[in-house]
A = this chain, B = another copy of it.
């Protein structure tokens, strides 16, 4: 379920601020959604709420981790070590929660050999060699759009079955490879779409939408 990471983020913050128990109502408010929806979502994981009290926040986090498969080890390789690649390596959630930066690749001599975060950048040609021992599960494309297809093929070639593509380019991969796109300009366009709508509204009209919560991407298949 696509909303679990959202709950988890909120739970983590609640724990940090000292809460130990949490109600569906609180969660719903923070995620800007309906309490019944939260309860439905959480009940799919099992019934660990206590009636009259709420949920044990720490336990809930561990259950969501399990459901997300984040209690396993997920070696991640990142291809393209420019500003974006570096930002990803350093980003908090990327090297935690089961995800492990197992390899960094590029083709530019200027960055090969450089130490970025905990890992040394290698040439893309060495991907196959690395994959034989590490079996990376997830590949991240942070390369320029013009190289993205080629990188995707290299990843698929070494057995990567999940690809997260940051390059603004539609990619072709076999149907059994999971492919998700993160596109920063799409996010901007979505914002401008809703903001135009607001601007176009006649005064007194009910707004189409005022805000959205923590929003992960949906499946679109």
Interface residues of A (CB under 8 A from B): 1-6, 8-10, 13, 30-33, 67-70, 72, 74, 76, 82-84, 86-88, 90-94, 96-99, 137-138, 145, 161-162, 164, 168-170, 173, 175-199, 209-221
Contact = CB atoms under 8 A, between A and B. Distances in A.
Contact of A67 (B32, B170, B183, B193): B193
A220 B31 contact: yes
A189 to B, nearest CB: 4
B83 A183 contact: no
Main secondary structure of the interface of A (DSSP, over half): mixed
A130 to B, nearest CB: 19
A210 B221 CA distance: 8
A30 B190 contact: no
Contact of A177 (B31, B67, B88, B211): B211
A215 B218 contact: yes
A54 to B, nearest CB: 18
A191 to B, nearest CB: 5
Contacts of A86: 83
Contacts of A192: 68-70, 72, 74, 98-99, 137-138, 162
A216 B217 CA distance: 6
A211 B175 contact: yes
B137 A178 contact: no
Contacts of A84: 83-84, 87, 91
A165 B58 CA distance: 26
Contact of A183 (B9, B72, B161): B9
Nearest to A30: B170
B217 A70 contact: no
B180 A182 contact: no
A98 B193 CA distance: 12
B168 A92 contact: yes
A212 B184 CA distance: 17
A184 B88 contact: yes
7 contacts: A33-B221, A69-B197, A70-B189, A92-B185, A99-B185, A162-B195, A212-B220
